Structure 1
Amino acid sequence: MKIFHNLDELKTPLENAVLTLGNFDGIHLGHREIFRRVVRRAREIGGQSVVYTFVPHPLKILAPEHAPPLINTYDEKEILIEASCIDVLISAPFTRELANLPAHRFVREILVEKVGVSHLVVGYDYLFGKDRSGDVNLLRRMGEYLGFAVEVLDPIRENGEVYSSTRVRKMIREGEVRAVTKVLGRNYNFSGRVVHGFGRGSKLGFPTANLATDKELLPCPGVYAVKVKRGEEILDGVLNIGRNPTFNAAGLFIEVHLLDFSGDLYGEELRVYFVERLRDEIRFAELEQLKRAINNDIARGREILAVARLIQYQEYLDCGRGQRDCP
């Protein structure tokens, strides 16, 4: 997949560009269906499948106080879009200047003259341009005049519920990591670097890897059964996200205990896949109570993870070419 991080890198318009545009945070199953249609249409006309998205999320510029935490990092999003068999990704900077560009000028100057759109795929409620004045009706009118087709998609649903990034965020915030797999099409996950902690886990007899991550959206505090990818190795684990209330700790900590593992992990990058929520984070009056709870967590985690299948993005998408590991 060719990636353009700035429109100035695009020296000439693309040939027969079949394009969709949006934020695409999360790359959930609804987004995947949009990409599938873009790819199919591009192959039908011998064109190029193109995703046009923005960095940062527009609300981070226009209304930072209302900007949602991102489901994926920008690097993860690029990998997931590539795994969707897209030919070209335009990951364009979002600026106030762009936000003030009238909708009709965005279509003419950027989509048509710069990108070379021949077929545009958008959702029925897509809005764009200054004051969000552009809609599908404007796109259709301009398409007729400027020579590109417009395909408008109805909401993509599953069991009556619309696939949406808002729905994904809500589920993750509420710790519904098992259920969200059916909306994302993969286990929710994050990459973290192992850093030094306070050593409390080792003193209790349950050594943990303390993780630092750039991920903006994490499940609510609690204990989770997880799969952990270390290089090509997949390990089972029990992870705690929270503030360590038993120890009156300050800050948010992410600690994973890897089952049946011993070794030095400091400085390594691990990718953690959430499988199931085990319980809330609890303040214990005595350390022995905490130890018993951890033992119970590990026992239950083993049962769940023994039969759990890790779902990674590339397992069910084949673009006919080698794939990178997908988050």
Structure 2
Amino acid sequence: MVPAFDDWRDVPASWKGAVVALGNFDGVHRGHQALIARAGEEAAARGAPLVALTFEPHPRRFFVPDTGPFRLTLPPAKLRLLAQYGVQAVLAQRFDAAFAGLSPDSFIDDVLLTGLGARHVVCGYDFTFGARRGGNVERLREEGRRKGFGVTVLDPVMREGEIYSSTRIREALRAGWVSEAAELLGHRWEIEGPVELGDQRGRTIGFPTANVGLGEHLRPRFGVYAVRVLRDGQWRAAVANLGRRPTFGKLQENFEVHLFDFAGDLYGQALRVEMVDFIRPEMKFSGLDQLKAQIEADGRAARSRLLA
């Protein structure tokens, strides 16, 4: 795992003098990957470390605290993906009232220059910073010229006239289009969470499931998915159901994962679940017999799609 810090005042001297990639990086999608790659080129040219500056919690959560779950990547997944694409250290700046109140000048002087000793920064065309989003890329360029750090602003990264964006990926997942989301991301979307104690109903009908905590993850379309689960360093075939289980009159959202050809206790473990294909929407059944028959059909469909 890459070194990570949660406050600009705690960045050690060894990580200063960096090229800094700026952004929320939710999903670490293809647009983000292009930005990181460009920052990597700048870092290599200067013999400097490549550091990502991102924010936790997501500023949207801070400013609109009652918004529903919307995150594509929670911190562990974001750190893993940033490292995968070449980032060497991460400042996941704690986004609280004090940080939100920093002026644009303080963001540049205190965070970028004092905290990170930034030699060069790379950001997207729409990056804003400072209280009330008072700073933009033009301000960043102007201050860079005055204060001696370089600035690269990336134009929108496009696919067939459409900008790669976290918003578009969320829309795809809410529609159940996991293949489309994977194409936009450049990797399959995952839900990662602890296995929690459920009502253990699955084992009573011969279909035990792991109840994976959803946390702040975006809720994709309710229904059944073909998935893969990382277990002991290997991706294992599985089928998952996301929803409220209307057959049993439940209201709480559950993400229940059944690993094929597996027997064991997963409680308390963290599972990474890779979404491969959407099989069907959530349904209500007339009784257990109908439910069991559909579960068996879903299992066959998942195995088939995972082999495709």
Identity, % of aligned positions: 38
Moved more, 47-56 or 228-237: 228-237
In structure 2, the gaps of 5 or more residues are: none
Cα deviation, residue 10, structure 1: 2.6
SS class of match (1:50): strand
State the partner residue of 2:48.
Answer: 47
Asked if the contact 2:9–2:115 (Cα under 8 Å) also holds between the matched residues in 1, the reply is: no
Distance 2:188 2:299 in 1: 20
Asked if the contact 1:201–1:207 (Cα under 8 Å) also holds between the matched residues in 2, the reply is: yes
Asked if the contact 2:69–2:217 (Cα under 8 Å) also holds between the matched residues in 1, the reply is: no
State the partner residue of 1:95.
Answer: 96
Cα deviation, residue 156, structure 1: 0.6
Distance 2:64 2:131 in 1: 14
State the partner residue of 2:207.
Answer: 206
In structure 1, the gaps of 5 or more residues are: 308-327
State the partner residue of 2:28.
Answer: 27
Change in 2 beyond 3 A, CA 1:243/1:2: closer
Asked if the contact 1:230–1:269 (Cα under 8 Å) also holds between the matched residues in 2, the reply is: no
State the partner residue of 1:268.
Answer: 269
State the partner residue of 2:3.
Answer: 2
Distance 1:271 1:20 in 2: 26
SS class of match (1:237): strand
Distance 1:53 1:31 in 2: 12
Cα deviation, residue 81, structure 1: 1.3
Change in 2 beyond 3 A, CA 1:275/1:72: same
Change in 2 beyond 3 A, CA 1:79/1:233: closer
Asked if the contact 1:237–1:301 (Cα under 8 Å) also holds between the matched residues in 2, the reply is: yes
Cα deviation, residue 257, structure 1: 2.1
Asked if the contact 1:14–1:117 (Cα under 8 Å) also holds between the matched residues in 2, the reply is: no
Residue 105 of structure 1 pairs with residue 106 of structure 2: yes
Cα deviation, residue 288, structure 1: 2.3
Distance 2:12 2:232 in 1: 38
Distance 1:35 1:261 in 2: 39
State the partner residue of 1:311.
Answer: none
Cα deviation, residue 56, structure 1: 1.3
SS class of match (2:20): strand
SS class of match (1:251): coil
State the partner residue of 2:146.
Answer: 145
Cα deviation, residue 68, structure 1: 5.9
Asked if the contact 1:13–1:116 (Cα under 8 Å) also holds between the matched residues in 2, the reply is: no
Asked if the contact 2:191–2:217 (Cα under 8 Å) also holds between the matched residues in 1, the reply is: no
- The one-letter amino acid paired with 1:53 is T
Deviations 1:69-109 (A, max 9, x none): 21111122112212222122111111222222221232123
Cα deviation, residue 13, structure 1: 8.4
CA RMSD of aligned residues (A): 2.0
State the partner residue of 2:180.
Answer: 179
- The one-letter amino acid paired with 2:37 is R
Cα deviation, residue 164, structure 1: 0.9
Distance 2:230 2:26 in 1: 23
Moved more, 203-212 or 251-260: 203-212
SS class of match (1:266): coil
Residue 170 of structure 1 pairs with residue 162 of structure 2: no
Question: 1:280-319 to 2 correspondence within 5 Å?
Answer: 280-307=281-308
Deviations 1:131-169 (A, max 9, x none): 212111111111111111211111011222211111122
Deviations 1:194-217 (A, max 9, x none): 333333323333222222343422
Deviations 1:174-211 (A, max 9, x none): 22112211111111112233333333323333222222
Moved more, 42-51 or 97-106: 97-106
Asked if the contact 1:53–1:91 (Cα under 8 Å) also holds between the matched residues in 2, the reply is: yes
State the partner residue of 2:246.
Answer: 245
Moved more, 190-199 or 216-225: 190-199
